Amino acid sequence: MAGNRTFTMIKPDAVESKNIGNILQMITDAGFSIKAMKLTQLTVEQAKKFYEVHSERPFYMELVEYMTSGPIVAAILEKDNAMADFRTLIGATDPAEAAPNTIRAKYAESKAKNAVHGSDSDENAAIECAFHFSDAEIVG
Ligand code: IDP
Ligand code: MG
């Protein structure tokens, strides 16, 4: 494998604002290879399960409602140091605090509607890739 893998979603706000292409361009320009990708819409059950770690947080139901409100693009990305480098590329959760030229600084609307997801550990990356893709859907 050329590097290791992380998982991303282009979230409903960024799909709605027609930034799928701009965000994929930033991702590939930063050296990530796309190993799997699909346009899909999460069910409430899927979103609740995906974000289960946040189930005690006050914003949990708002997050589930938002993540199921429209289509998303789910993808598996590969690069050396993929998880950490992708977190750097996306920037802080709140776009007001995200470094300039990060995906969230450029395309996120708010701390809730923040354009993209990125896995926060290699262990979670593997879980999240498997949550959305079968081995047969991963190329190479
Ligand atoms: P991350 O996406 O940068 O890892 P997390 O703290 O894991 O941030 O939160 C998961 C997602 O929950 C965020 O990306 C954002 O969409 C949403 N979220 C986080 N904090 C808040 C909040 O204070 N209000 C509403 N939504 C939030
Ligand atoms: Mg997180």
Sketch the domain layout of the chain as residue ranges.
Answer: 5-137
Q: Which of 35, 48, 117, 132 is catalytic?
A: 117
Q: What pLDDT is attached to residue 3?
A: 83
Ligand 1 atom at minimal distance to the Cα of residue 93: 3
Distance 120 CA to ligand 2 centre (A): 6
CATH superfamily assigned to domain 5-137: Nucleoside diphosphate kinase-like domain (3.30.70.141)
CA atoms within a 13 Å half-sphere pointing along the CA-CB vector of 7: 20
Residue type, 82: A
pLDDT along the chain (140 residues), means of 10: 90 98 98 98 98 97 98 98 98 98 98 98 98 95
Alpha helices in the chain (DSSP H): 12-16, 20-29, 44-50, 60-67, 82-90, 103-107, 122-132
CA 89 centroid distance within chain = 11
Distance from C-alpha of 34 to C-alpha of 6, rounded to nearest angstrom? 10
Sheet of 33-40, strand order: 33-40, 72-79, 4-10, 116-118
Indicate the pTM of the whole model.
0.97
Query: Is 132 part of the annotated catalytic residue set?
Result: no
